[in-house]
Amino acid sequence: MRYLSRNNGRAGLPMVWLLALGLPLVAGACKGNALQVVDPERATPANLTPDVAFAGALSDFQQAYSGHGLDDEILSTVADFTDEAYSSGTFSTRTHTDQRDQFTPQNGNTTDAAYGNLHIARSSAVSAQKLMADASAADPRISELKSYVGYDYTAMGENFCSNIPFSSSQDFAPTEEGSPLTTAQMFSAAVDTFDAAISAAKDNQRKYLAMVGKARALLDNGDYSGAAAAVSSVPTDFVFLIYHNAAVSADQNPIFNLMSNGRYSVANGQAGTTVADPDGTGGNGLNFRSANDPRVPWAQDPSGGFDQTIPQYVSLRYPLQGSNVVLADGIEARLIEAEAALNNNDTGTWLSILNSLRANVGDLLAARYDPPEPNDFGFPNQVTATTLSPITDPGTQAARVDTMFRERAFWLYATGHRLGDLRRLIRQYGRNEADVFPSGPYYKGGVFGTDVAFQIAFNEQNNSKYQLSMCDVSKP
């Protein structure tokens, strides 16, 4: 695996997509001197058209954030690491991620692929931007690519430990070694990138994508008022999707595939003590199943998990192999405004925003997700409510924060937000790690660990500016 903080010469569209698009990588390679061949592994901007470069960057971002087929990327690893899902399979790396007791970088972790692929996606998006700008500076897709870079920075900052190396060269020189950025610096870099995307936007859809991304990064850095201002003009019915395709195995929705294959299961108050009862009772995790909330529809697979001993519950949020994933939408915009109001002690506005969303839950979900029935799982939908009763003021600021993050957890379930939110509860709200993450007895034996962030992949040791000690996964 090549890690783009050091770059190692990879630029532009990955070879697999060139092959998929039927482009002749080595045509004429043996003409003349047979020893003077074209390297088929490297696709440079000079070899690409804007359309092909954009398609490659889009594919790389989908793989890094949402995932391809059965790949573990941001969506699945965030769900496994938090209280959204538990490991119902047999892979030790997934189990240790679920337990928050990751292997050392030398031994490898489930999150290694996401780490490398986020760097690759950033490289592809920056390279494609340059090529497309050279062809036409007015190309509206340039703004979209800038936003993908912003989401790459945001995903790194939300999920991985601090001090991640990033290269700065837009040509991605093979010899460049990136300098490490702190968590706050990653979010600041994301904000700058989203600002550039907003300036370059030629249409509202791409402008709103960048606005929501900017607000998300500002929220991650504790700038509540700035985050609310960033999304003030984003309509609630805005939706921007990462698309999946059931007809192409590599493009299928990974959450669907991993759950239908018995690898992950929807969790419920996670803190179980036995394999037969992986959730237990009284755990720190949210009750994603027993709440019977239309925002987290699910069904039980009676055949059990992959080893057929662990209970299996599949998410009907993604009921089809081709189900798309929400990257940014107006619901998130309103949730950001609600949290800003809460931090401004404006309880009335906070409640009004949350209850307006709850009153329209059926319509809002219908515009974003495939209906739970019919579905490719073949299971009946157990949640049919189209409205949710209004929330009342719980009376204390601590309880209001609990309610705020619970609402975010259910609205944004399995969209890659949960780990960033749990770390924010520690970093910005002063909560203790053991009170935020699932803790106590672990159902496959032992106890939950204390990790609150993903490890940086061992390959980053190739960068002389980075040392393993710079990654502290116990720090939010």
Tell me, what's the pLDDT at 440? 87
Sequence-distant (6+) residues with CB within 8 A of 27 are none
Q: For residue 241, what pLDDT band results from cuts at 50, 70 and 90?
A: very high
Spatial distance between the Cα atoms of 405 and 409, rounded to a whole number of angstroms: 6
- Cα separations in angstroms, 256 against 90, 218, 358: 18, 31, 26
Among the listed residues 41, 13, 14, 11, the one whose alpha carbon sits nearest the alpha carbon of residue 26: 41
Under a CB-based contact definition with an 8 Å cutoff, are residues 68 and 57 in contact?
Answer: no
Report d(CA 365, CA 359) in Å as an integer.
12
CA 32 to chain centre: 48
Do 60 and 20 contact (CB within 8 A), yes or no? no
- Residue 205 belongs to what H/E stretch? helix 204-220
Q: What is the pLDDT of residues 176-215, one digit of tens each?
A: 688 899 999 999 999 999 999 999 999 999 999 999 999 9
Q: CA–CA separation, 186 vs 155, rounded Å?
A: 9
Phi then psi dihedrals of residue 194, to 5 deg: -65, -35
Percent of the chain with pLDDT strictly greater than 70: 86
What is the model's pLDDT at position 273?
66
The residues facing 326 across adjacent strands are 241
Instruction: Identify the bridge partners of residue 475 per DSSP, sorted by sequence position.
Output: none
Please tell me the distance from the alpha carbon of residue 222 to that of residue 206, in angstroms, as a whole number.
25
Is the pLDDT confidence value at 432 over 80? yes
pLDDT at residue number 196: 98
Sign of CA dihedral 161, 268, 299, 98: positive
Kindly report the backbone phi and psi dihedral angles of residue 301, in degrees, each rounded to the nearest multiple of 5, phi listed first. Answer: -95, 110
Q: What is the pTM of this model?
A: 0.89
First to last CA, the chain: 27
Q: What domains can be seen in the chain, in order of their start residue?
A: 15-27+38-247+321-470 (1.25.40.390)
Q: Are strands 179-181 and 239-242 parallel, antiparallel or unpaired?
A: unpaired
Q: Is the pLDDT of residue 163 over 50?
A: yes
Q: Tell which residue, 383, 336, 331, 380, has the closest CA to residue 357.
A: 331
Q: Tell me what pLDDT residue 175 has.
A: 55
390, 382 contact by CB (below 8 A) = no
Q: Strand, coil or helix: what is 447?
A: strand
Strands (E), 183-335: 239-242, 264-266, 298-301, 312-315, 325-329
As a whole number, the mean pLDDT across the chain is: 87
Residues listed for the chain: 476
The torsion angle over the Cα atoms of residues 178, 179, 182 and 186, rounded to 10 degrees, is: -40
Bigger pLDDT: 39 or 297?
A: 297
Give me the pLDDT at residue 42, please: 53
Confidence of residue 113 (pLDDT cuts 50, 70, 90): very high
Beta bridge partners of 313: 300
Q: Residues 14-29: pLDDT tens digits?
A: 333 332 333 333 333 3
Confidence of residue 3 (pLDDT cuts 50, 70, 90): very low
Q: Tokens 């607000």 appear where?
A: 215
Contacts of 362 (CB under 8 A, 6+ apart): 294, 385, 386, 387
**Helices 74-81 + 141-159 axis angle, to 10:** 30
Residue 57 burial (C-beta neighbours within 10 Å; 0-12, 13-18, 19+): buried
- pLDDT tens digits, 353-378: 999 999 999 999 999 999 888 899 98
- Please give the pLDDT value at position 27: 34
- Closest by CA to 249, choosing from 114, 71, 79, is 71
* Residue 69 pLDDT exceeds 60: yes
Q: Does the structure show a pLDDT above 90 at 37?
A: no
pLDDT of residue 137: 86
- Residues 390-416 have pLDDT tens digits of 999 999 999 999 999 999 999 999 999
- The answer to whether the Cα torsion of 252, 253, 259, 263 is positive or negative is positive
Question: Looking at residue 28, what is its pLDDT?
Answer: 34
> Looking at the predicted structure, is the pLDDT value of residue 303 above 80?
yes
